[in-house]
Structure 1
Amino acid sequence: MTDVSHNERLADHFPNGGWRKSSYSDPTGNNCVEVLTEPKAVQVRDSKDTTIPACVPRNSAWLEVLAV
């Protein structure tokens, strides 16, 4: 049996694998950020190039982003 990554399993249940585009993303395709929330972590990636690994901020740093 082949092991499947968590993101691949999410893709079976959510559009775009569970990634959501930030409401602050530029509609012209610039400054685009996507977020994937999981029970114990948040991942952030550049939606223009999803081949670049996602950033996984510490919970305290992510809470500061949400407070802005």
Structure 2
Amino acid sequence: MWTARLRVDSPHVAALAASLSTEQKTFVDGRILEMNLCESRAKDLRAIWNTRMRSLLIAESVIQVMDSSTPKE
């Protein structure tokens, strides 16, 4: 069995977790997001990992765009 674990510390943890809600079970504790992936074959784990990372990168990009368009006081 192949396993990968991701742990993210972010002020936007709820949005990041939501971006994975249909794909992966996540655990959120404060600013920490964790997920564990387990697959019987390494190539399957790599494919799933890459898909989850793309989801997180896109979510982070959207958050950055939204933050940059919000007027600062």
TM-score clears 0.5: no
- TMscore range, shorter length: under 0.3
Larger Rg: 2
Bigger share in helix = 2
Structure with greater proportional strand content: 2
TM-score, normalising length: structure 2: 0.26
